[in-house]
Amino acid sequence: MGKKPIPLRLILASGVLLLLCFSSCKKEEITEPPTANIFYSVADKQVAFTALTTNAENWTWDFGDGNTSTDKTPVHVYDAGGVYTIKLSATGPKGSADAMVEVSLALSVREMLTGGASDPDGKTWKISAAHSDKDAITFTDPNLTVLEAVPAGALSLFLGLGEEYEDEFTFKADGSYSHDTKNGGAFAGLVFTLVNQLNVVKITPESQSFGFAVTEYTPETGATFTLTEGEDFSIEVVSQLDKTTVSTLTFKNATTLDFSGTEFIGLMDFTRKCVIQEITPDKMRLVMFMSATDGNHFNKPSLAVIFTFEKV
């Protein structure tokens, strides 16, 4: 028996199906240049990266520690904590696109303060005009009892010394320190200024009532800082109320900052050493000390100034 002929309609249908397949399976031609962004998630020192790209066919990663990858979704484990700049270059038929992101990993206090060894220019801070709900002027008693809360913009609003928000303080991983007063004057204690016969750049009735002034100051060349963690820091203080009662104020297991020569951060007074209450990669809150009495113990702090600083 001979083979049955294949119906014409089936042949035509098969041809249509084959044509449709060729048409739909054809790769869409790329006509636009690539775009690139980076998504990442962190688990200790391990970071999972994803290239969020369009119109790209190749991806080149620089993880900021000397290592690279060409995967679209690489996972990288860093040897040490720090701040790393990650760069992505995505390429396609119509060109390339770049993206960059900064990642902070398992940072020590020193790395948060300075930016770490991967940041040779160091990290610069200034007093935050926004302050925080914990910023205050306090007595130097064990509880740091609040004398006056410090709201947003306080240096401008009720002290008239708003230019001091512009001063910048730079810490480097090698221990060097620099200070830019911007306006030639430093935020300082008025008693300290007068006792040392320094020039007052600016004072207002409001700032005088709190014991503050802007004092002429030339930053020290080649200055250094000392960061100490886990210190029981004790300081002799005098009562702001009676100007005679002297006591010892101790901060247990404190993290402190001290400076060479005449240097300081934030507030210039007899006591240059300060306590870091809290620090993150972008903000830190410091306890600084100010002498505001005119008795025999004028050079002992009677007030604490708690300010928040922000990364510049």
Pairing of strands 246-259, 225-238: antiparallel
The answer to whether residue 185 is domain-embedded is yes
Judge if 229 and 241 occupy the same domain. yes
pLDDT for res 72: 97
Looking at the fold, whether 70 and 166 belong to one and the same domain comes out as: no
Say what the pLDDT of residue 166 is. Answer: 97
Evaluate whether residue 83 is within a structural domain: yes
Looking at residues 82-94, what average pLDDT do you find? 92
pLDDT tens profile 123-152: 999 999 999 999 999 999 999 999 999 999
Let me know whether 60 and 48 are in one domain: yes
Q: Give the CATH number for residue 80.
A: 2.60.40.10
Query: Residue 30 — pLDDT band, cuts 50, 70, 90?
Result: confident
Report the pLDDT averaged over residues 169-196.
Answer: 96
Domain assignment present for residue 146? The answer is yes
Bridge partners, 267 (sequence order): none
Range of the domain at 51: 35-106
Give domain status of residue 203, yes or no: yes
Whether the predicted pLDDT of 120 surpasses 70: yes
> Does residue 19 carry a pLDDT above 50?
no
The SS3 call for residue 14 is helix
Report the 10 Å Cβ neighbour count for 58: 13
Q: Which two tokens stand for residue 216?
A: 């002429």
First-to-final CA distance of the chain: 92
CA–centroid distance for 75 within its chain? 26
Residues 44 and 127 in one domain: no
Please check whether residue 176 lies inside any domain of the structure.
Answer: yes
- The residue from 48, 74, 106 where one domain ends is 106
Q: What is the mean pLDDT of residues 248-259?
A: 98
**pLDDT class of 17 with cuts at 50, 70, 90:** very low
Cα 179 → chain centroid: 17
Long-range CB contacts (< 8 A, 24+ apart) of 59-68?
A: 59/88, 59/89, 59/90, 59/91, 60/88, 60/89, 60/90, 60/91, 61/86, 61/87, 61/88, 62/86, 62/87, 62/88, 64/103, 64/118, 65/118
Residue 271 in tokens: 């006591």
Query: How many angstroms separate the CA atoms of 185 and 290, rounded?
Result: 17
Does the global pTM surpass 0.95? no
What is the structure's pLDDT at 22?
Answer: 46
Mean pLDDT over 31-48 rounds to: 94
Same structural domain, 253 and 300 = yes
In the predicted structure, residue 46 carries a pLDDT above the cut 50: yes
Quick check: 155 pLDDT over 90?
yes
Whole-number pLDDT of residue 94: 92
Residue 14 dihedral angles phi and psi, to the nearest 5°: -65, -40
| 81 confidence band (pLDDT: 50, 70, 90) | confident
Asked if residue 293 lies in contact with residue 191, where contact means CB atoms within 8 angstroms, the answer is yes
Residues 83 and 208 in one domain: no
Residue 20 has pLDDT above 90, yes or no: no
Mean pLDDT of 231-238: 98
In a domain, 14, yes or no: no
106, 131, 155 — which closes off a domain?
106
Same domain for 257 and 272? yes
Give the chain's domain count. 2
Same domain flag for 127 and 271: yes
Residue 132 φ/ψ, nearest 5 degrees: -155, 170
* The Cα angle at residue 243 between residues 238 and 245, in degrees rounded to 5: 55
Of the candidates 76, 106, 136, which is a domain's last residue?
A: 106
Does residue 300 lie within any of the structural domains? yes
Question: Could you tell me if residue 182 is inside a domain?
Answer: yes
196 with 120, same domain: the answer is yes
What's the mean pLDDT in 236-264?
97
178/273 same-domain check = yes
Please give the pLDDT value at position 18: 41
Same domain, 248 and 170: yes
Q: Do 142 and 69 sit in the same domain of this protein?
A: no
